[in-house]
Structure 1
């Protein structure tokens, strides 16, 4: 304890530990979370929640020090948190922060690493070490010695936004220790500047190559992974949301392509099976050929279909299984953050699941819209049987912004922590 106190004092004198920024009201009203009352020990936002739940404001950036675009969250054994900071959509602007608590419960930020390129996922590995996904590598880091961070996987595509559209790496550990890593598609729909498909000599997409997939990197033991990878699942536009169920099943939430209509195409939840192709850029929804590709070229019937659709442009960015004690009614459910800016997004949902972690689904279902109303899923398509935990997270002037939930984590007390990257906020779902 004395050593930790001395270290904190030294870091503070060096300007590396910084108190949290002031009240969020200092921000523009469109981004600030107004608070009123208490939510499980935190100031309660005024976001309308499902009955029995509340959304507390842990911290919000207000021009001071702290992450600019918080994305990934991981609770440490001592109650502190690691937070990845995207920083911006350019290389070298990201950071890794430690969030701790000053006297009186105020948030204190320590920047552990800077100059990172679009860091996103942060997770504990099966060996107890902490791993972070940067744009083109996965590295292991000890929060007590961040200067000794070491790369364990390198050479991921150096995706840059607008040159390559999906720059974020994400990962999960498989049961044998292998790393399953997202490598996003290099474009939205494999089209050239004139809007025509970019075809190779066989008439297929010329961009697929080594991207638009989840790669498997075998575990060698001793904290080392083979640099020789194999495709695990292909035809995936952007697998930022990945999760492994206790049964061993791997699930992915897909951000589908951008069409001009707000009600098509639908996003997806897929169960990833080794060797399967999931359709990008040829197919969408439950097997419809995308414009530019004929049914013969698309061969949608030969590609793996989603286990469930999600609303169009929901933009799922985090997927995990709830295993906490605070909400017994959510135990085993699949939590998904819908990050998109369109009218169906800005929500956190809890989906009922079966023994293998697969979403339980209904047909002839509907999904809600902001500010009100709903639209149907395709009549016979599977739609998630879910509870929306944040039904009122639309923008309300001078009250709260539209929700932009990115990363999520379940704390040891069972509360659900959320990083809102657009508002620069850390939020917490607790009991009302």
Structure 2
């Protein structure tokens, strides 16, 4: 029974100007979403996704609300943010059967909690205007201690989510989207990725503007070998169905990524940009189809899967809201050759969009300690567990044994 207790340089891919980078993908076989007995009343039976042949998908957790970002602790528990409720949930698979049997409210009463990162045995959470540290010293599954790490975040605005990650340099990073669709921001912390320098076992309370010109970089993560920082970006609206492209960017310290003046391969915005100004900006590493709304992303290095998956980047497309023909609503795979994208992307999981209606919207992607890919869905209120071709059960216990710094 499911127990629920709720209250820069050289990064650009050579693609034609304006191209989406899309390749014919492998999401070709209809795969039924397996529903564990303890979740049968929480999810409709018979739903399918399109996936590479040999993939299996099961519900890991269901009956949740507005599930967004995810982070694993050293014991294999999964933290999930729910901004719409103000909760952070702690989800566990206690019997190791691949489906959660416990969902606890780790914390509540938070102000739009979104980004999560595990750090030194505690959980860092990004609210819309501050970063807090949550601790559970008595181990009962609920945070008894909440302390402010920094309130140096801009609050609210059109893009109010804040995403977190602890980098390989030991610093804490946070993304803050723009306050508007297309405007000149007065607050330099907006449309930027911010860095909080490490101070002993903590972080500086004052943010450094690390990179900017990023309209809404909801997801970011680091390449497991090179340490390069990669981020998604949601482009502006009201320029039609196919402009501007959404983006995958390689983030370089001190770089300007163009918004609101430029987009894509240094293309001037028709209302604010000029070619001379755009020449000094960093071009997108890869364009995505306009209005796909790329959010969370994760490298596949920890997957128990075929090499084509372990060397790829996975990106969740939340889906369009104002495009004539809807697009997105899927998870895509970006093949990498070493530290750089090979030159395009393809569907990994699709099928949430049926005709013009979508029954699910993927948000976060994370590699679990069992080597499966986990995907959060804030419309269906579930977390999927995806075993890709080549997956086999781990021989050791699914606890990672070492503490992850960040998972999207």
Q: In the alignment, is the contact (CA less than 8 A) between 2:72 and 2:118 conserved in 1?
A: no
Q: In the alignment, is the contact (CA less than 8 A) between 2:161 and 2:177 conserved in 1?
A: yes
Q: Residues of 1 paired with 2:100 and 2:146: CA distance?
A: 28
Question: For structure 2, which runs of at least 5 residues remain unmatched after alignment?
Answer: 8-35, 390-408
Q: Give the Å deviation of 1:287.
A: 1.5
User: What is the Cα-based RMSD across aligned positions, in Å?
Assistant: 2.7
Partner of 2:101: 107
Partner of 1:4: none
Partner of 1:300: 278
Residue 348 (structure 2) aligned to one of 389, 392, 399 = 389
- Tell me, yes or no, if structure 1 residue 345 matches structure 2 residue 328: yes
TM-score of the two chains, using structure 1 as the length reference: 0.73
Q: Give the Å deviation of 1:409.
A: 1.2
Q: Which has the higher helix share?
A: 1
Q: 2:169 aligns to what SS in structure 1?
A: coil
Partner of 1:238: 216
Q: Residues of 1 paired with 2:215 and 2:270: CA distance?
A: 16
Q: Residues of 2 paired with 1:176 and 1:275: CA distance?
A: 16
- Residues matched between the structures, number: 347
Q: 1:47 aligns to what SS in structure 2?
A: strand
Q: In the alignment, is the contact (CA less than 8 A) between 1:24 and 1:60 conserved in 2?
A: no
Q: In the alignment, is the contact (CA less than 8 A) between 2:196 and 2:205 conserved in 1?
A: yes
Residue 122 (structure 1) aligned to one of 116, 138, 162 = 116
Residue 378 (structure 2) aligned to one of 421, 426, 430 = 421
Per the alignment, do residues 312 and 274 of structure 1 end up closer, same or farther by CA in structure 2, a change over 3 Å counting? same
Residue 290 (structure 1) aligned to one of 269, 279, 284 = 269
Partner of 2:299: 321
Per the alignment, do residues 274 and 260 of structure 1 end up closer, same or farther by CA in structure 2, a change over 3 Å counting? closer
Residue 338 (structure 2) aligned to one of 346, 351, 355 = 355
Residue 369 (structure 2) aligned to one of 408, 412, 421 = 412
Q: How does 1:138-287 map to 2 (within 5 A)?
A: 138-143=131-136, 144=139, 146-159=143-156, 164-190=157-183, 205-207=184-186, 209-222=188-201, 224-246=202-224, 247-287=226-266
Residue 98 (structure 1) aligned to one of 78, 90, 95 = 90
Q: In the alignment, is the contact (CA less than 8 A) between 2:221 and 2:231 conserved in 1?
A: yes
Partner of 2:57: 55
Q: Give the Å deviation of 1:72.
A: 1.6
Partner of 1:46: 48
Partner of 1:334: 313
Residue 70 (structure 2) aligned to one of 58, 73, 77 = 73
Greater relative contact order, per chain length (Cα 8 Å cut-off, separation 6+): 2
Q: Residues of 2 paired with 1:151 and 1:390: CA distance?
A: 38
Q: Give the Å deviation of 1:106.
A: 6.1
Q: Give the Å deviation of 1:188.
A: 0.9
Partner of 2:24: none
Q: 1:228 aligns to what SS in structure 2?
A: coil
Q: In the alignment, is the contact (CA less than 8 A) between 1:186 and 1:207 conserved in 2?
A: no
Q: Residues of 2 paired with 1:277 and 1:267: CA distance?
A: 16
The structure with the largest alpha-carbon Rg is 1
Partner of 1:194: none
Q: Give the Å deviation of 1:142.
A: 2.7
What's the CA shift string for 1:326-345, capped at 9, x where partnerless? Answer: 21231121111111235330
Q: In the alignment, is the contact (CA less than 8 A) between 2:150 and 2:206 conserved in 1?
A: no
Q: In the alignment, is the contact (CA less than 8 A) between 2:93 and 2:101 conserved in 1?
A: yes
TM-score of the two chains, using structure 2 as the length reference: 0.77
Question: For structure 1, which runs of at least 5 residues remain unmatched after alignment?
Answer: 1-11, 27-31, 36-44, 62-66, 88-92, 191-204, 362-383
